[in-house]
C-alpha cells in the first residue's frame, strides 16, 4: 500500500522554531510507523517561497529572491535532518516543477469556468498580504499588523468561484466523517461552510516574484492558490503524470489548526474544479506555547515577544531524541502543548534517563558482568516471563490504532507504563544480582528475558526515537535473526528464531555509556 503524507510548507522569512518542528515530528512519527507496517511511504515537506514578504526579506539583505530562498531552504533542511525527520522529498515552490504544475492547474480550473476576473477596491495589508474587509479593520489598522499602514488598492484580480462548492463540500464532509481531524476542527469547518463561502481572490497584479497566470502574464498567482498546489506538483502533476496518478491522493495532510479552513474548504474545492480526487484526511494539530520558567506565564511563540526557542538550541544541548520525546510525550498532537526548559528537563530525566536509559544500562551491565556478554543457550530459553500479566498482543493492537489516530502521547504513556515498568519490575522480583551469586543458570534465564524486553522496547519506540530504538536493537545480536530495517510492530509479539544472544553494544571500560546523561539545568545554563 502506498501512503502519501505531507506537512504544511513553511514561510522562509525566519528560521523554524519549536512549534514548526512539532508538526514535522508528528508527521515523521506517522511516516516511520507506516513504513514499519510495510507501506510504501512518500513523505513530503517544503517551503512556501512565492510570497511578497519573502522577496522583501531578500531585498533587505541585498539579495535576489532565489538565492535567498535557496539558502533558507538549506537551513530548514539542516534543522529537519538534525531532528531525524525522514521526509522523502522537499519542495521549494520556486522550483520549476512547481511552476509548471501550477500553470497547468490554474488553466484547468479556468477552463472549467471557475475563475473569473473582477475589479476590487479595498484596503490592503502588506503584513497579511491580503485585503481586509471593513469589519476586520480596527481603528483604521490591521489588528495583526498595527504598525503598518493599510493601503487603498484597486486592481483587477482573478477570483475562484469557491462559493459554488459549498454544497459539494458539505456532502463530502458528510460522506467522509474522518476527512477533518480532530473532531473539534471538523465542527468548525462544517459551520464555516454552512455559513456560506465567498469567492476568493487568487491573483495579484504587478509582482515579478511568483508564478505568472498563464492566461494573463500581468498577474501572479496569489499565495494560497499557489501554496496548496505543492502537494500535487511535488509528485509530478504537470511534469510526470504517471507518477502523479500513482501517488495522489494524499493519505493525510498534517497541518496547523490555524490553516484548516484552507485545507478543508478551499483546497478540496480547487481539486473538485480541476477534476482531481480529494485527500483522504486532513489533520490539524495544536500549537506549542512557551511557558516562562520564571513567571509561569504561557504565551504564543513569537519574535516580538522574544520567546522563540530554536530547535537547534535544544538538539545541541539535549539531543534530537530528547526533543522528539518531549513533544511527542508531553503535548497531545491534536491539542495544544507548552514548552519550558524546566518541563523539558523533568520529562527527559524521568522518562529517558531514569527509566529508558537506565533499563538499558543495568541490563547490559549484568549481561557483561555475569556472562561476559555471551548468553549461550539463550535460543532454548523462553523469553516471556518478564511480561508477567501483560497482554502484549492487545497492547500492540492498541498502539497501532492510537498511532494511526495521532494519539502519540497516549501511545508513549502506555509503552512506558506497561512495557518499561514491566521490565524494571521483573528485575526487582527476580533479583538477578543476587541470583548470580548462587545460580548462574537461573540468572541467565532472567538476562534472556531482559534482552527480549530490550528488543520489544526497541520495536515499539522505533517511530518515535529512531536512534535510540536502533541502539537498543543493536545492544544484542538481534540482527542475526531479523534485520532492523525490516522490523515492524508485529515483530514485537514473538522473538524470531536465531543464534544465541550476545551483547554487541558499544562498551566503554566494560560498561555501556549512559544513553541519556541526566540534565542539570543550572549546569547546562538553560
Q: Is 504 in the site for RNA (CB under 7 A)?
A: no
Edge-to-edge strand list for the sheet holding 89-92: 89-92, 40-47, 2-7, 252-256, 282-285, 180-181
Which region among 86-94, 143-151, 191-199, 303-311 touches RNA (by CB under 7 A)? 191-199
Which region among 43-51, 203-211, 349-357, 481-489 touches RNA (by CB under 7 A)? 349-357
Minimum distance from CB of 188 to RNA (Å)?
Answer: 4
The single residue among 7, 349, 378, 430 that binds RNA, judged by CB under 7 A, is: 349
**Residue 120 grid coordinates:** 476590487
The torsion angles phi and psi of 466, rounded to 5 degrees, stand at -60, -40
* Residue position matching grid coordinates 539583505: 61
Q: Is 358 in the site for RNA (CB under 7 A)?
A: yes
Category of 92 on φ-ψ map: left (φ > 0), alpha (ψ -120 to 50) or beta: beta
Q: Is 121 in the site for RNA (CB under 7 A)?
A: no
The single residue among 117, 151, 243, 425 that binds RNA, judged by CB under 7 A, is: 425
| Number of C-beta neighbours around residue 434 at 10 A | 10
Q: Is 37 in the site for RNA (CB under 7 A)?
A: no
Q: Is 305 in the site for RNA (CB under 7 A)?
A: no
Spatial distance between the Cα atoms of 116 and 387, rounded to a whole number of angstroms? 66
Q: Which is nearer to RNA, 166 or 192 (CB)?
A: 192
In Å, what is the CA distance from 52 to each residue of 65, 211, 455? 10, 12, 51
Q: Which is nearer to RNA, 54 or 412 (CB)?
A: 412
Pick out residues in 259-278 that bind RNA (CB under 7 A).
Answer: 261
Nearest to 498 by CA among 395, 392, 378: 378
Q: Which is nearer to RNA, 358 or 470 (CB)?
A: 358
Q: Is 184 in the site for RNA (CB under 7 A)?
A: yes
The single residue among 90, 105, 386, 516 that binds RNA, judged by CB under 7 A, is: 516
Q: Is 214 in the site for RNA (CB under 7 A)?
A: no
Q: Is 319 in the site for RNA (CB under 7 A)?
A: no
**Residue 470 grid coordinates:** 536502533
Nearest to 420 by CA among 494, 338, 362: 362
Nearby residues of 428 by Cβ (< 8 Å), 6 or more positions away:
none
Q: Is 107 in the site for RNA (CB under 7 A)?
A: no
Nearest to 5 by CA among 39, 50, 47, 48: 39
The single residue among 152, 428, 522, 525 that binds RNA, judged by CB under 7 A, is: 428
Q: What are residue 255's DSSP bridge partners?
A: 284
Q: Is 353 in the site for RNA (CB under 7 A)?
A: yes
Which region among 21-29, 205-213, 364-372, 469-477 touches RNA (by CB under 7 A)? 364-372
The single residue among 360, 386, 478, 489 that binds RNA, judged by CB under 7 A, is: 360
Spatial distance between the Cα atoms of 224 and 100, rounded to a whole number of angstroms? 16
In Å, what is the CA distance from 257 to each residue of 9, 182, 228, 491? 14, 9, 15, 35
Q: Per the omega criterion (within 30 degrees of 0), is the bond before 182 cis?
A: yes
Residues touching RNA, count (CB under 7 A): 46
Q: Identify the burial level of 512 via C-beta atoms within 10 angstroms of its C-beta, where 0-12 means exposed, 13-18 middle and 19 or more buried.
A: buried
Q: How far apart are the first and last CA of the chain?
A: 45
Minimum distance from CB of 332 to RNA (Å)?
Answer: 7
The single residue among 129, 310, 421, 500 that binds RNA, judged by CB under 7 A, is: 421
Q: Is 362 in the site for RNA (CB under 7 A)?
A: yes
The single residue among 249, 373, 518, 521 that binds RNA, judged by CB under 7 A, is: 518
Minimum distance from CB of 96 to RNA (Å)?
Answer: 35
Q: Is 357 in the site for RNA (CB under 7 A)?
A: yes
Q: Which is nearer to RNA, 157 or 424 (CB)?
A: 424
CB 505 within 8 A of CB 450: no
Minimum distance from CB of 497 to RNA (Å)?
Answer: 28
Q: Is 365 in the site for RNA (CB under 7 A)?
A: yes
Which region among 110-118, 121-129, 424-432, 451-459 touches RNA (by CB under 7 A)? 424-432
Q: Is 361 in the site for RNA (CB under 7 A)?
A: yes
Pick out residues in 52-91 that bind RNA (CB under 7 A).
Answer: none
Q: Is 433 in the site for RNA (CB under 7 A)?
A: yes
Q: Which is nearer to RNA, 58 or 469 (CB)?
A: 469
- DSSP letter (8 states) at residue 126: T
CB 243 within 8 A of CB 235: yes
Spatial distance between the Cα atoms of 55 and 58, rounded to a whole number of angstroms? 5
Minimum distance from CB of 137 to RNA (Å)?
Answer: 7
Which region among 9-17, 218-226, 417-425, 494-502 touches RNA (by CB under 7 A)? 417-425
Q: Reduce the secondary structure of 413-478 to three states and give it as a string.
A: HHHHHHHHHHHHHHHHHHCHHHHHHHCHHHHHHHHHHHHHHHHHHHHHHCCCCHHHHHHHHCCECH
Minimum distance from CB of 357 to RNA (Å)?
Answer: 2
Please report which residue ranges of 83-181 form alpha helices under DSSP H.
Answer: 96-111, 166-175
Report the length, in residues, of the chain: 526
Q: Is 181 in the site for RNA (CB under 7 A)?
A: no
Which region among 230-238, 266-274, 396-404, 428-436 touches RNA (by CB under 7 A)? 428-436
Q: What are residue 285's DSSP bridge partners?
A: 256
Minimum distance from CB of 278 to RNA (Å)?
Answer: 21
Q: Which is nearer to RNA, 352 or 492 (CB)?
A: 352
- Residues at the interface with RNA (CB under 7 A): 134-135, 184, 187-188, 191-192, 195, 257-258, 261, 330, 332, 343, 346, 349-350, 352-358, 360-362, 365-366, 369, 417, 421, 424-425, 427-428, 431-434, 511, 514-518
Amino acid at each position: 500500500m502506498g501512503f502519501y503524507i505531507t506537512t504544511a510548507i513553511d514561510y522562509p522569512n525566519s528560521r523554524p522554531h519549536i512549534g514548526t518542528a512539532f508538526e514535522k515530528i508528528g508527521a515523521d512519527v506517522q511516516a516511520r510507523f507506516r513504513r514499519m507496517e510495510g507501506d510504501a511511504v512518500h513523505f513530503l515537506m517544503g517551503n512556501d517561497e512565492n510570497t511578497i514578504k519573502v522577496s522583501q526579506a531578500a531585498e533587505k539583505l541585498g539579495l535576489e529572491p532565489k538565492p535567498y530562498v535557496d539558502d533558507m531552504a538549506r537551513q530548514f533542511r539542516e534543522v529537519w535532518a538534525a531532528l531525524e525527520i525522514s521526509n522523502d522529498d522537499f519542495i521549494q515552490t520556486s522550483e520549476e516543477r512547481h511552476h509548471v504544475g501550477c500553470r497547468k492547474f490554474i488553466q484547468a480550473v479556468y477552463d472549467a469556468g471557475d475563475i473569473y476576473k473582477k475589479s476590487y477596491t479595498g484596503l490592503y495589508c502588506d503584513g497579511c498580504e491580503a485585503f481586509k474587509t471593513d469589519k476586520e479593520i480596527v481603528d483604521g489598522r490591521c489588528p495583526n499588523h498595527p504598525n503598518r499602514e493599510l493601503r487603498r488598492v484597486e486592481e483587477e484580480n482573478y477570483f475562484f468561484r469557491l462559493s459554488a462548492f459549498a454544497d459539494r463540500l458539505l456532502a463530502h464532509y458528510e460522506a467522509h466523517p474522518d476527512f477533518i481531524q480532530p473532531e473539534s476542527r471538523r465542527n468548525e469547518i462544517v459551520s464555516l461552510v454552512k455559513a456560506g463561502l465567498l469567492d476568493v481572490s487568487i491573483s495579484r497584479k504587478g509582482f515579478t516574484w511568483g508564478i505568472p497566470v498563464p492566461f494573463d502574464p500581468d498577474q501572479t498567482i496569489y499565495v494560497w492558490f499557489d501554496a496548496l498546489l505543492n502537494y500535487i506538483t511535488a509528485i509530478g502533476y504537470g511534469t510526470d503524470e504517471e507518477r502523479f496518478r500513482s501517488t495522489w491522493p494524499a493519505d493525510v495532510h498534517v497541518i496547523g489548526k490555524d490553516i484548516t479552513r484552507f485545507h478543508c474548504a478551499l483546497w478540496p474545492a480547487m481539486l473538485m474544479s480541476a477534476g482531481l480526487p480529494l485527500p483522504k484526511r486532513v489533520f490539524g494539530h495544536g500549537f506549542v506555547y512557551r511557558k516562562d520558567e520564571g513567571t509561569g506565564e504561557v504565551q504564543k511563540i513569537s519574535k516580538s515577544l522574544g520567546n522563540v526557542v530554536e530547535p537547534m538550541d535544544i538538539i545541541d544541548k539535549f539531543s534530537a531524541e530528547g526533543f522528539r520525546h518531549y513533544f511527542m510525550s508531553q503535548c497531545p498532537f491534536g491539542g495544544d502543548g507548552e514548552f519550558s526548559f524546566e518541563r523539558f528537563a523533568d520529562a527527559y530525566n524521568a522518562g529517558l534517563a531514569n527509566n529508558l536509559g537506565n533499563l538499558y544500562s543495568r541490563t547490559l551491565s549484568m549481561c557483561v558482568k555475569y556472562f561476559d556478554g555471551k548468553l549461550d543457550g539463550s535460543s532454548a530459553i523462553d523469553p516471556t516471563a518478564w511480561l508477567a500479566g501483560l497482554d502484549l498482543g492487545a497492547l500492540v493492537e492498541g498502539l497501532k490504532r492510537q498511532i494511526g489516530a495521532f494519539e502519540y502521547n497516549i501511545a508513549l504513556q502506555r509503552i512506558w507504563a506497561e512495557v518499561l515498568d514491566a521490565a524494571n519490575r521483573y528485575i526487582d522480583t527476580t533479583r538477578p544480582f543476587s541470583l548470580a551469586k548462587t545460580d548462574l543458570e537461573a540468572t541467565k534465564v532472567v538476562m534472556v528475558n531482559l534482552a527480549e524486553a530490550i528488543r520489544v522496547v526497541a520495536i515499539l519506540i522505533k517511530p518515535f526515537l529512531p536512534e535510540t530504538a536502533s541502539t537498543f536493537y543493536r545492544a544484542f545480536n538481534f540482527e542475526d535473526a531479523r534485520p532492523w530495517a525490516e522490523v515492524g510492530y508485529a515483530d514485537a509479539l514473538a522473538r524470531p528464531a536465531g543464534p544465541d544472544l550476545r551483547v554487541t553494544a558499544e562498551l566503554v571500560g566494560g560498561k555501556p555509556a549512559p544513553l541519556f546523561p541526566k540534565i542539570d539545568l543550572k549546569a547546562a545554563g538553560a
